[in-house]
Amino acid sequence: MINRLTIKGIPLSLLAPTFVIASLAAIPLLYLATGTIGADQESWDWLLRWNTLQIVGRSLLLVFTVTSMTIIISLPIAFLTDRTNLGFKKPIEIISLLPLVIPSYIGAYLYMSAVGPGGFIDKFIATPLNIQTPTNAYGFPAAVITLSLLNYPYVLLTVKSALAQMDRSLEESGRLLGLSGLKVLAKVVIPQLKPAIASGGLLVALYTLSDFGAVTLLKYKTFTWSIHAQYEGAFNRHTASLLSIALVILASGLILTESISRNLTKYYRTSSGSPKLQSRFQLGFWKWPITTACLIFLALTTILPITILLFWVLRGISQGISFPILFASTINSVGLATLTATAALIAVTPVVFLVTKHKNIFSQLIEKLCYTGYALPSLVVALSFVYLGSKYGGALYQSFLILILACVILTLPAALSTVRTRMLQISPRMEESSISLGRSPLKSALTVTIPALKPGLLMGAIIVFLLTMKELPAILILSPLDFTTLTTDIWTYATEGLFSQAAAPSLTLIGISSIAVSILLWKANIINN
């Protein structure tokens, strides 16, 4: 039934903005569709050639290896910090999450500056000792090391959250049956962690599949490298679109695999109430050797990179190198991230109201379109706005507005997931009571639901801010002329081998991102008290 205010029970005031948001989120899909339809036989032949199939294999190999490595790294850290009497637990928990603030391209730059030609080892160890440094320091091993050490916190966070909510009576039952600590871990704990491992692994897999900065700097040819090469080198939009479609199919396959895995796994509590607290597993003689091993690992993966950055800065100062003036780039980065976070929250709020309060086919379609940025790498989203902006955007092409729009689409899934989770925790009776007192649904939403939603909105804003601060491909491709950010400064100097100049914006970016992550962890209560 249609009237002036609603369509099938959904207020027009809610339908209109969500339809606009979903339409904007669908722009990359439209770009891929038009590019695919217009592809000639040569583009299809290029897609099906042996070299392209090799790129598929290389991409999948990297995804599988990195995901496996992150799981192997994360499980021991999560268990040791949550279930044992590990020493220096709080510092280890905090430091283990710090790689979240280091973008992949900074990690690649650090790897290059350490082991690459002209790097730290080459200049200060190999050359004085007359040792021949390896010529094949880049490629697959470098990409695996860099992406694994930077992405394992995604798995660590999901596993730690699952461990905190796990019913420990099952572990107690296993011990009463005579199982050792390791057998309880293998037969009781890990099976219950499978959904969390799959969820964290999916994030790592999608991130690895869509990564552009690290694989490009480390000279490992993947899908994103090939798409960028077709766009920038061959200027073949149709071939780039076909490659992007193939990438989307791979990403969708990963999402589907995770979903099937999650649905096949029975993950529920067998008892009611809160998780039972119990004494920590005592490491005994191994407490301090294991603690030392954890500290050494974290020092190599987190503290050492920061130290390398400081070294290059100090070395540049001692040599009188002219450092870039970072004020403008810092303001641009923070401004872009702040505006994107604000716009993303404004966009996501009506969508959350629609998908939680009006469950139907239309709302499900809107929600799925808003998750477009989840399956598409930022490179593809950026290229879609380049095409549509240059063809139909007029003055919007290469404007700051179109850059913000692209960043919003890329970060919308993260904001939607965070705010939606918070909305589901709010009792609908609060808004219903307000309406029963004579307030309109809109006024009730603004005065009752929105204030209760503030924690979710804050979390979403921080996550979007952090993701935008680290964004590279979209900014490289869509930024207006003479618009620089910390990420573009890092990229420019790192690709030219100017390690000292790249270190300064890297440290600035990590410092600002660390503040955002600290607030995020504090609000989410991730770290054990």
Of 96, 100, 114, 152, which Cα lies nearest the Cα of 510? 100
Q: What is the mean pLDDT of the chain?
A: 78
- In this prediction, residue 122 carries a pLDDT of 66
- In this prediction, residue 1 carries a pLDDT of 40
Q: Identify residue 489 by its one-letter amino acid code.
A: D
pLDDT at 527 over 60: no
| 487/329 Cα distance (integer angstroms) | 9
Which residues, including other chains, have CB under 8 Å from residue 509's CB and lie 6 or more apart? 103, 106, 333, 469, 470, 486, 487, 490
| 501/487 Cα distance (integer angstroms) | 13
| 468/338 Cα distance (integer angstroms) | 9
The DSSP annotation for 339-393 comes to HHHHHHHHHHHHHHHHHHHS-SHHHHHHHHHHTHHHHS-HHHHHHHHHHHIIIII
- In this prediction, residue 84 carries a pLDDT of 83
Of 210, 235, 241, which Cα lies nearest the Cα of 29? 241
pLDDT at 180 over 50: yes
Q: Is the dihedral of CA 524, 406, 336, 324 positive or negative?
A: positive
Length of the chain: 529
Least confident of 63-77, 247-261, 279-293, 473-487: 247-261
418-447 pLDDT tens trace? 787 677 766 666 665 666 666 666 666 666
Q: In degrees rounded to 5, what are phi and psi of residue 249?
A: -60, -45
- Mean pLDDT, residues 130-140 taken together: 69
- Share of residues in the chain with pLDDT > 90 (%): 13
- In this prediction, residue 232 carries a pLDDT of 63
- In this prediction, residue 9 carries a pLDDT of 64
- Mean pLDDT, residues 363-378 taken together: 78
| 418/523 Cα distance (integer angstroms) | 13
Q: Encode 400-417: b = buried (16+ Cβ within 10 Å), e = exposed.
A: bebbbbbbbbbbbbbbbb
Chain centroid to Cα 306, Å, comes to 21
Of 426, 448, 424, 425, which Cα lies nearest the Cα of 436? 448
* Cβ-based burial of 143 (10 A; exposed 0-12, middle 13-18, buried ≥19): buried
Q: In degrees rounded to 5, what are phi and psi of residue 425?
A: -85, -10
For 211-262, give the secondary structure using H, E and C.
CCHHHHHCCCCCHHHHHHHHHHCCCCHHHHHHHHHHHHHHHHHHHHHHHHHH
Q: How many CA atoms lie within 13 A of 364 on its CB side?
A: 3
Q: In degrees rounded to 5, what are phi and psi of residue 438?
A: 105, 0
Least confident of 62-71, 81-90, 467-476: 81-90
- In this prediction, residue 308 carries a pLDDT of 84
Query: pTM for the full model?
Result: 0.78
The DSSP annotation for 466-485 comes to HHHHH--HHHHHHPPTT---
12-27 pLDDT tens trace? 777 888 888 888 888 8
pLDDT band at 337 (very low <50, low <70, confident <90, very high): very high
Dig out the tokens for 453 from the structure.
């939603």
- Mean pLDDT, residues 175-191 taken together: 65
Of 147, 139, 301, which Cα lies nearest the Cα of 211? 147
Q: How many CA atoms lie within 13 A of 378 on its CB side?
A: 26
Which residues, including other chains, have CB under 8 Å from residue 349's CB and lie 6 or more apart? 419, 450, 453, 457
Q: In degrees rounded to 5, what are phi and psi of residue 2?
A: -115, 130
pLDDT at 450 over 90: no
Of 479, 458, 469, which Cα lies nearest the Cα of 512? 469
pLDDT at 307 over 80: yes
Which residues, including other chains, have CB under 8 Å from residue 277's CB and lie 6 or more apart? 168
- Mean pLDDT, residues 388-406 taken together: 79
- In this prediction, residue 3 carries a pLDDT of 41
206-262 pLDDT tens trace? 888 888 888 888 888 887 877 777 666 545 566 767 777 777 777 777 777 766 665
pLDDT at 288 over 50: yes
pLDDT at 339 over 70: yes
Asked if residue 499 lies in contact with residue 113, where contact means CB atoms within 8 angstroms, the answer is yes
CATH numbers and ranges of domains, the chain: 1-34+322-529 (1.10.3720.10), 39-268+286-319 (1.10.3720.10)
- Mean pLDDT, residues 165-194 taken together: 65
pLDDT at 335 over 90: yes
Q: In degrees rounded to 5, what are phi and psi of residue 275?
A: -60, 135
Q: Encode 122-141: b = buried (16+ Cβ within 10 Å), e = exposed.
A: beeebeeeeeebeeebbebe
Dig out the tokens for 521 from the structure.
């962890």
Asked if residue 469 lies in contact with residue 506, where contact means CB atoms within 8 angstroms, the answer is no
Asked if residue 163 lies in contact with residue 78, where contact means CB atoms within 8 angstroms, the answer is yes
